[in-house]
Amino acid sequence: MQFPNDDNGQLLSEIAAAGVDLTQMQKIDFYILFEQKDNAERFIETISKDDLAPQTKLGKCPDTGVWEVLTTVTMVPMHELLAQTEQYLESIANGHEGYGDGWGLMAQE
């Protein structure tokens, strides 16, 4: 399987090499960071009303003190779709003074 030469392509290549079937639906975790907890909570409130309807979880990084919203979306991890979803979530986060910090996929056991 060939992947574009960018960060998402590199990550997809590593995931495929680990044996994950990228043609199947997977739970993809998108990481959105906020300096202020109330901004993170407003983001969660906004995104929970969205048709995308991801699962969200709020946590605080003990090392940096930054608030992190883990947004889980079930999708087929195609390069273009990942980039579009990442951009979409970031566009909502930007309205709440948040910013994207990438994505990841936990292999199903």
Q: What is the pLDDT of residues 25-50, one digit of tens each?
A: 999 999 999 999 999 999 999 998 88
Environment class of 51 (CB within 10 Å of its CB; exposed 0-12, middle 13-18, buried 19+)? exposed
Residue 29 confidence (pLDDT): 94
Residue 53 confidence (pLDDT): 65
**CA–CA gap between residue 108 and residue 24 (Å, rounded):** 11
Q: Which stretches in the chain have pLDDT values below 70?
A: 53, 107-109
Q: Name the E strands within the chain.
A: 26-34, 55-60, 67-75, 98-105
